[in-house]
Amino acid sequence: MEEGQEVHRRARTLFPQGISGQDRTTAAAAKKTTQLMADPSVTTIFEATFHVDGYSARADVIQRVAGAWHLVEIKSDVEDKPELVDDLAYTAMVAVRCGIRIAKASLLLLSKEFRLGMGSDKLFVMIDHTSDMEQKVRNFLLLWDDVSSKTKQPNRPSPNLMLACRSCPFFEADCLGRGINDHIFDLPRLSQKKFDELAAEGVVTIHEIPAGSELTDTQERVRRSVISGQPSIAGSLAGELAAIVMPAYYLDFETVMTALPLYPAIAPYTQIPTQYSVHVCSNVGKVTGHREFLADPARDCRRELAQQLITDLGTKGSVISYSSFEKTTIRALAAHFPDLKNPLAVIVDRIVDLEAILRRGYYHPGFHGRTSIKVTLPVMVPNMSYEGLEIGDGDTAVAMFARMAKGQVEKRETERIRKALLAYCKQDTLAMVKLHEQLTAAIA
Ligand code: SF4
């Protein structure tokens, strides 16, 4: 959010004539916008607000152009994506319904060519989406009356289950998933076709799936596990665990990725590894060592990180990750430092993805179709959690590091945050050690 605000602040410097249309309430801001637009000496308005028939929209920038307006939406994105054009078109639609002539509509995106130290004029690229906007506005307007009448009702409309509900933030907390412990959305890789089939039969829970319904092997394993209330183990698990070579090195990276680059010669949104933790085990569950690295936030330390990683991971034994992210990160380091390519490639060859093994071989009803470590750890190792850690999630870790890199953290706070970052990353690799131990116990 802070980065978004910074991007907006810098974008506004491109429109030195701009006047803010903001006010305390939407209605007051809409009134102020109308007044500013009526004043011919005003050429550019920030946060221009439009409000009509229950719809509201706020345009980042509108600029007067020959009796009409150029609508500009500022985005902290480098990629020109359809959903950004949807957003632009929504704002244009509300403005049009307020009687405003929108002659041009553009997205102001971040430039991939921007580097630290360049001026704001090099930070952005303006992309004209006028014809896309016009087409979308025509389509959106077809829904205007229906949406307007529904949103004016005192009660919300009855929801209909659709596949998109699976990723809706209201699903579990306040809509169709509330109170359901075995929803069909817990089935891994549920296709639209299978969903339609089940929904047509009125099937909402895994318990209701009729016997003989065609499911993939993994889905069937999940179904059996949910019905029995017991973990289910696939035949592949024992073999995959047996292939892990000891000593094992449990590896986890933290990275930082910011819209405005933190270091020279780096494009916006380049993923920079900043930290890792390695737990070393001579046998399953038997920790014999721990190694870690945390970059100096004041500079790009990728080379030191890569060199220390090569030393810390030795030459023998499996390197265990939990996702494909570690492999991707090491490959990116190898591409960036050609002289380290060979030793890094050897590490990549040693990587075993414990999450992939678990996904293929083990399911517990408490997973609810997910296998991230934050889900599987409390189910399989209930006495271990991230509670009590000052930094307990990846987003906070990234934000804290970025703040230190931007010099926004006071010196006396830095040591405390560094310790919290190290503790968080260390907890991730210890969690992997414990999960491996539990999986091994499950097949014993
Ligand atoms: S879960 Fe979300 S998408 Fe589905 S009906 Fe409810 S609000 Fe709509």
The predicted structure's pLDDT at residue 394: 86
3-state secondary structure of 48: strand
Kindly report the CATH class assigned to 2-147. Answer: alpha beta
Please give the mean pLDDT across all residues of the chain: 95
Asked whether the beta carbons of 36 and 19 are under 8 A apart, the reply is yes
Ligand 1 within 6 A of CB of 159: yes
CA angle 251, 253, 259 (to 5 degrees): 165
Residue 64's pLDDT band, with cuts at 50, 70 and 90, is very high
Ligand 1 within 6 A of CB of 168: yes
Name residues whose C-beta falls within 8 Å of residue 364's C-beta, 6 or more positions apart in sequence: 225, 231, 376, 379, 380
Q: Is the pLDDT of residue 149 over 90?
A: yes
Ligand 1 within 6 A of CB of 170: yes
Q: Is the pLDDT of residue 388 over 90?
A: no
Residue-wise pLDDT tens digits, 397-420: 999 999 999 999 998 899 999 999
The predicted structure's pLDDT at residue 44: 98
Residue 14's pLDDT band, with cuts at 50, 70 and 90, is very high
Residue-wise pLDDT tens digits, 20-41: 999 999 999 999 999 999 999 9
- DSSP-assigned states of every residue in 384-423: --STT-SS-SHHHHHHHHHHHHTT-S-HHHHHHHHHHHHH
The span from the CA of 423 to the CA of 277, in Å, is: 9
**Closest C-alpha to ligand 1, atom 6:** 175
The predicted structure's pLDDT at residue 412: 87
Among the four given CATH numbers 2.40.10, 2.60.40, 3.30.420, 1.20.120, the one describing domain 240-442: 3.30.420
If one residue of 150, 168, 178, 183 were mutated to test the ligand 1 pocket, choosing by the most ligand atoms within 8 A of its CB, it would be: 168
3-state secondary structure of 250: strand
Ligand 1 within 6 A of CB of 176: yes
Domains 2-147 and 240-442 share a fold: no
If one residue of 150, 151, 158, 165 were mutated to test the ligand 1 pocket, choosing by the most ligand atoms within 8 A of its CB, it would be: 165
Rounded to an integer, the average pLDDT of 176-181 is 94
**Closest C-alpha to ligand 1, atom 3:** 165
CA of 60 to the centre of ligand 1 (A): 29
Asked whether the beta carbons of 173 and 355 are under 8 A apart, the reply is no
Residue-wise pLDDT tens digits, 200-249: 999 999 999 998 899 998 899 999 999 999 999 998 899 999 999 999 99
E strand spans, 85-235? 102-110, 124-128, 232-233
Q: Reply yes or no: is the peptide bond before residue 247 cis, omega within 30 of 0.
A: yes
Tokens of 36: 């500013």
For residue 169, the ligand 1 atom closest to its alpha carbon is: 2
Residue 261's pLDDT band, with cuts at 50, 70 and 90, is very high
Asked whether the beta carbons of 9 and 46 are under 8 A apart, the reply is no
Q: Is the pLDDT of residue 114 over 90?
A: yes
CA of 80 to the centre of ligand 1 (A): 27
The span from the CA of 190 to the CA of 184, in Å, is: 8
Residue 157's pLDDT band, with cuts at 50, 70 and 90, is confident
Closest CA to 327 of 392, 251, 412: 251
Which one-letter DSSP state was computed for residue 131? Answer: H
3-state secondary structure of 19: strand
If one residue of 162, 176, 184, 185 were mutated to test the ligand 1 pocket, choosing by the most ligand atoms within 8 A of its CB, it would be: 176
Rounded to an integer, the average pLDDT of 312-341 is 97
Residue-wise pLDDT tens digits, 70-106: 999 999 999 999 999 999 999 999 999 999 999 999 9
If one residue of 171, 172, 178, 184 were mutated to test the ligand 1 pocket, choosing by the most ligand atoms within 8 A of its CB, it would be: 171
The span from the CA of 352 to the CA of 345, in Å, is: 14
Asked whether the beta carbons of 44 and 65 are under 8 A apart, the reply is no
Closest CA to 258 of 76, 13, 11, 60: 76
Q: What percent of the chain has pLDDT above 90?
A: 92
**Beta bridge pairs of residue 294:** 275
pTM of the shown model: 0.89
Measured in residues, the chain has a length of 444
Burial 297-310 (b: 16+ CB within 10 A, else e): beebbbeebbebbb
CA 307 centroid distance within chain: 29
- Per-domain boundaries in the chain: 2-147, 195-230, 240-442
